[in-house]
C-alpha cells in the first residue's frame, strides 16, 4: 500500500479503480449500456474504451438480462466481466439471471464454474431522478444465496471495496449511491488499496449508542453523531460496508459496548435489511441492550416522485430523533 493519498470524489475513485484493475488483469471485460463511447451516463467508465479498446469495453444493446446472462458465459470462458446496470431499478429486468443463474452457478455446478462477476449499479435517492432510478433494492438481493453485496460510503472505500469485488471469485453486486458520486469526497490512498469484503468500518467511536448503517446514509449518521458530541452524548457509527458477508462480530462488539443501537436504511421498512440487523443483534447480544433497537427507514411505498422525495428519504432530523428515542430514560 502507498503512503500517499489524494482527495477524490467517489466517482473519481471508482473510475480510477476500473482503470487500474483493467491494466492489472487483462481478463477483465467491462460491459453495459453507454459504458464505452459515452464513458457511462455518470462517467464512471470514462476513458476506458480509449485505453483498453472496444473489445474490452463494450457498449451493449439495452438488454439487462443479456448483460447479466452473457456475464455468466464470459466467466465460463475464463474472463472477468465487470457489468454495469445503468440504474439498480432496472435490475428487475435482469433479476432472473442475477438471482436464478449468476448467484447459483458455483453451487449448482459444485464449483466447476466460478462466477467471478461484478455487477455495478447506482442506486438510492436524493437527486430527483425519474421513476425507478432511485430505488434501494439491497434487501431483495441480500435474500439471494451466493451473491455478495458491497455498498461503499466513502471514496476510499469505493476504491478498496471495488478492488476486492473485482478480484473476488464470487459474484458481487457493487452498489454506488447516486448522491455520493460527486457529493462524497475524501482522501483515497494512491496505488493499490484493498478493503476486504465482510469487514465493517467503525467510522466513529462512541460509548452511549451506536448508529448502524450503510452507503450514503452513513454520511448523515456521521453528521448526527458529531452534533451529539457537543451535547455530551457519545454516538458511535458503524458502516457495514457489505451486507453479504455480514460482519456480525463487529455488530456484536459495538452494540455490546454501547448497549443501545439505531439502524438506518433508505429502503422501505418491511423486509428491509435493518430488520436483519436487529435480528442479528437479537441473536448475538440481546442481553447487553439497555433499550429497544430503533429502526429508521423509508416508508412502505414505491419510491416517490421528486417533490415528495424529501419526505421519504431519512434525513438527519429523523436520525437525530431516533438517537434521542434510543437514549431517553423512562
Partner 1 sequence: MPKPNDNQLQMIFEDMVIARTQAGRLWNLQRQGQIGTIAPIDGHEATIVGAVHALETESDWVLPQYREPLGLRRYGPEILDAFMLYNLGHPLGGHIPDPIKVVPSQISLAASIPHAVGLAWGMSLKNDPGAVLVFFGDGASSEGDFYEAGNLAGVLKAPVIFLCVNNQWAISTPTSLQTAADSFASKSSAFGIPGVQVDGNDPSLVFEAVSEARERAVNGKGPTLIESTVYRLGAHTTADDPTRYVPSEELSAAKKRDPLLSLQKELKKRNLWSDEKQNEVEKYALERMDEALEKAKNTPLQPSSVLDHCFETETLRLSKQRKYLLESLGGAHE
Catalytic residue selected from 19, 96, 133, 193: 133
Residue with smaller CB distance to partner 1, 20 or 60? 60
Mask for 18-57, x = binds partner 1 (CB under 8 A) = -----------x-------------------------xx-
Ranges within 148-167 binding partner 1 (CB under 8 A): 148
Is residue 19 part of the annotated active site? The answer reads no
Instruction: Figure out which of the listed residues 30, 85, 244, 278 binds partner 1, where binding follows CB under 8 A.
Output: 244
Q: How far is the CB of 114 from partner 1 (least distance, A)?
A: 7
Q: What sign for the dihedral angle of Cα 306, 307, 311, 315?
A: positive
Inter-residue contact 174 to 187 (CB < 8 Å): no
- 72 in contact with partner 1 (CB under 8 A): yes
Inter-residue contact 204 to 222 (CB < 8 Å): yes
Inter-residue contact 196 to 167 (CB < 8 Å): no
**Of 43, 42, 45, 41, residue with least CA distance to 18:** 45
Q: With CB under 8 A, what is the number of residues at the site for partner 1?
A: 47
Q: How far is the CB of 159 from partner 1 (least distance, A)?
A: 22
User: Helix (H, G, I), strand (E, B), or coil: what is residue 186?
Assistant: strand
Choices 39-47, 76-84, 177-185, 186-194; region in contact with partner 1 by CB under 8 A: 76-84
Residue with smaller CB distance to partner 1, 127 or 132? 132
Distance, CA of 188 to CA of 243 (rounded, Å):
22
Inter-residue contact 200 to 161 (CB < 8 Å): no
DSSP string for residues in 223-263: HHHHHHHTTT--EEEEE-SEEES--HHHHHHHHHHHS-EEE
Inter-residue contact 297 to 266 (CB < 8 Å): yes
**Of 195, 201, 205, residue with least CA distance to 218:** 201
Mask for 288-317, x = binds partner 1 (CB under 8 A) = ------------------------------
Instruction: Figure out which of the listed residues 35, 68, 166, 294 binds partner 1, where binding follows CB under 8 A.
Output: 68
Inter-residue contact 263 to 277 (CB < 8 Å): yes
Instruction: Figure out which of the listed residues 23, 77, 279, 308 binds partner 1, where binding follows CB under 8 A.
Output: 77
Instruction: Tell me the catalytic residues.
Output: 133
Q: Which residues bind partner 1 (CB under 8 A)?
A: 29, 55-56, 60-61, 63, 65-66, 68-79, 81, 93, 96-97, 100-101, 106-114, 145-146, 148, 169-170, 198, 244-249
Amino acid at each position: 500500500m502507498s503512503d500517499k493519498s489524494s482527495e477524490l470524489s467517489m466517482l473519481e475513485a471508482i473510475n480510477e479503480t476500473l482503470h487500474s484493475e483493467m491494466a492489472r488483469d487483462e481478463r477483465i471485460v467491462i460491459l453495459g449500456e453507454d459504458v464505452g463511447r459515452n464513458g457511462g451516463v455518470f462517467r464512471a467508465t470514462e476513458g476506458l474504451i480509449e485505453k483498453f479498446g472496444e473489445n474490452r469495453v463494450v457498449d451493449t444493446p439495452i438488454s439487462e438480462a443479456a448483460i447479466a446472462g452473457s456475464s455468466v458465459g464470459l466467466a465460463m470462458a475464463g474472463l472477468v466481466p465487470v457489468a454495469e446496470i445503468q440504474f439498480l431499478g432496472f435490475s428487475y429486468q435482469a433479476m432472473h439471471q442475477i438471482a436464478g443463474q449468476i448467484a447459483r452457478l458455483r453451487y449448482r455446478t459444485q464449483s466447476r464454474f466460478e462466477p467471478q462477476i461484478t455487477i455495478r449499479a447506482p442506486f438510492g435517492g436524493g437527486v430527483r431522478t425519474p421513476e425507478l432510478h432511485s430505488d434501494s433494492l439491497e434487501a431483495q438481493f441480500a435474500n439471494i444465496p451466493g451473491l455478495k453485496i458491497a455498498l461503499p460510503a466513502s471514496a476510499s472505500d469505493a476504491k478498496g471495496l471495488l478492488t476486492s469485488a473485482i478480484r473476488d471469485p464470487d459474484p458481487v453486486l457493487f452498489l454506488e449511491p447516486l448522491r455520493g458520486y460527486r457529493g462524497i469526497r475524501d482522501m483515497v490512498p494512491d496505488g493499490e488499496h484493498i478493503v476486504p469484503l465482510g469487514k465493517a468500518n467503525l467510522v466513529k467511536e462512541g460509548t452511549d449508542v451506536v448508529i448502524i448503517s450503510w452507503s450514503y446514509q452513513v454520511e448523515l449518521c456521521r453528521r448526527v453523531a458529531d452534533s451529539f458530541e457537543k451535547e455530551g452524548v457519545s454516538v458511535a457509527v458503524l458502516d457495514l460496508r457489505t451486507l453479504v458477508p455480514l460482519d456480525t462480530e463487529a455488530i456484536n462488539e459495538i452494540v455490546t459496548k454501547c448497549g443501545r443501537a439505531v439502524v438506518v436504511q433508505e429502503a422501505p421498512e418491511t423486509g428491509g435489511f435493518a430488520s436483519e440487523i436487529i435480528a442479528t443483534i437479537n441473536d448475538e447480544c440481546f442481553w447487553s441492550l439497555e433499550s429497544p433497537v430503533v429502526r429508521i427507514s423509508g416508508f412502505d411505498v414505491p419510491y416517490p416522485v421528486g417533490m415528495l422525495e424529501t419526505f421519504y428519504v431519512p434525513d438527519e432530523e429523523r436520525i437525530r430523533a431516533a438517537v434521542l428515542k434510543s437514549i431517553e430514560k423512562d
